Amino acid sequence: MYKKILVTLEATPTDRTIIEHIKELALLMHSQVVLLHVADGWAARTFGSEAVSPEVAEDVTYLEKIKAELQIAGVAATAELAFGEPGEEIVKWVKAKGCDLVAMSTHGHLIVGDLFLGSTVRHVRHNILVPLLLIKAKGAT
């Protein structure tokens, strides 16, 4: 059912909820997992894939760590780093590369809050055609 799952990561503790869920789901479904983090700091937004900064180096290290964790658990995983505005980059990735499911952790904001504050989740859910799995991060309010 889910041959390829895109898991978006923020590189924060919020990620643990979606990582643990997808680890089990991918094993059950024999899915390939693609981990995607969008670097959105000044250097990343200004220089894109040419950006060199401590933030970008930390993002690459983080992605490789999570990829290794999944692979050790028996999940086929790859990792990719994008640059720019997270919502736009996630949608662009889905449209260009395709997947059967997008999985994201949420902070648990109310829908009304999302309407006024804007959110990556709101942008993604309105601009992709594949199923979107949203899991509220443990400890989120």
Task: Evaluate whether 55 touches 43 at the Cβ level (below 8 Å).
Answer: yes
Give the mean pLDDT of the chain. 89
Domain ranges of the chain: 4-136
- Output the pTM of the full model: 0.89
In this prediction, residue 117 carries a pLDDT of 38
Residue 118's pLDDT band, with cuts at 50, 70 and 90, is very low
| 47-62 pLDDT, tens digit each | 777 777 888 899 999 9
| Strand-pair category, 101-106 with 76-83 | unpaired
Q: Return the SS3 of 81.
A: strand
Single out the residue of 107, 141, 108, 104 nearest to residue 124, CA to CA: 104
- Answer whether residue 116 shows pLDDT above 50: no
State whether CATH 1.20.120.430 applies to domain 4-136.
no
Q: What is the mean pLDDT of residues 7-26?
A: 96
